Structure 1
Amino acid sequence: MSRSPRASRHRSREAALQVLYALDLSHREASDLAGAGAEAFERAAENFELPEGARAFAKELIEGVMAHRAQLDEVVAGHARNWRLERMAAVDRNVLRLAVFEILYSTTPTPVVIDEAVELARRFGGEKSPAFVNGILDAVAHAVRPEGV
């Protein structure tokens, strides 16, 4: 049975989040995607049983977030009132990076990006993560994609 494109993209985001989380906690850089990041990616892709197209999307997300991480962190920090990036839970920080990357660099509709991020926060974050992520992404979306909100 084939999965819907939306389900595949959701699973791609889950896999990308796991890799970004692992790279963040190990303080690895984008250039390390060929090393430990590649191993983490393969494990995540297997765990989520990602088909080839979904693997490509997950890898695109990971590489995009890592390539633009400084800018993404600046955007997140600029909209996270009273929260320094390093004080945020690692899951929340990486969900936000992933979603802000999609808001800035993809054509995925803003409500879809935010809904997906909130779902990731609900699944992998703490009790308050969904509301925290939603609030910051809503502010980001209004600032950079007001027509899509």
Structure 2
Amino acid sequence: MGTRRKSRELTLQMLFQSEMGKQSPDDVRQSFWAQRADVEEETRGFADDLFRTAIERTIEIDALIQKHAEHWRLDRMAAVDRNILRAAVAELMGYPQTPKPVVINEALEIARKFSS
């Protein structure tokens, strides 16, 4: 698995934990990485950046998702799906140099792995 894919999956896991565990994002990050000391720095750095972007821009990201999610309210989406979308939109916002089709494809592949 590539570094970026692994980072995206780790971002999803942190976002999910942050939402479901009701911990602060900083607490989630600290405990998450404490259990994953073997993750390479490049992988961790990209995951951290996506996580921070998603957390800091949650209101804006959720508004964009809601605007384009026809017939779906954000709170009715499965938590995994909602957080996959948040991570993808965070990447589109924070890394505009990454081609949009790549971000979309990665989100779909992660959904195949983690979603029902």
What TM-score, normalized by structure 1, do the two folds share?
0.72
> Per-residue deviation at 1:34?
2.6
* Long gaps (5+) in structure 2: none
> Per-residue deviation at 1:85?
0.4
CA contact (8 A) 1:12 1:55 kept: yes
Identity across matched positions, percent: 37
* Long gaps (5+) in structure 1: 127-149
Q: 1:98-148 deviations in whole A, cap 9, x for unaligned?
A: 11111122121101100100011000001xxxxxxxxxxxxxxxxxxxxxx
CA contact (8 A) 2:3 2:43 kept: yes
Root-mean-square deviation (Å): 1.5
Q: 1:45-83 deviations in whole A, cap 9, x for unaligned?
A: 45xx52111111110011110000010000000000111
Give the aligned residue type for 1:57: F
CA contact (8 A) 1:15 1:41 kept: no
Q: Which has the higher contact order (CA 8 A, sep 6+)?
A: 2
CA contact (8 A) 2:9 2:110 kept: yes
Corresponding residue number in structure 2 for 1:134: none
Do residues 67 (structure 1) and 62 (structure 2) align? no
What TM-score, normalized by structure 2, do the two folds share?
0.91
Q: Show the 5 A alignment for 1:14-53.
A: 14-28=9-23, 32-43=24-35, 45-46=36-37, 49-53=38-42
Do residues 8 (structure 1) and 3 (structure 2) align? yes
Q: Which whole-Å CA distance do the structure 1 matches of 2:34 and 2:53 have between them?
A: 17
CA contact (8 A) 1:73 1:97 kept: yes
Q: Show the 5 A alignment for 1:1-149.
A: 7-28=2-23, 32-43=24-35, 45-46=36-37, 49-106=38-95, 107-126=97-116
Q: Runs in 1 of length 4+ with deviation above 3 angstroms?
A: none
Q: Structure 1 residues 84 and 41, CA, compared in 2 at 3 Å: closer, same or farther?
A: farther
Higher mean C-alpha deviation, range 19-28 or range 67-76 = 19-28
Q: Which whole-Å CA distance do the structure 2 matches of 1:120 and 1:77 have between them?
A: 20
Q: Rg bigger for which structure? A: 1
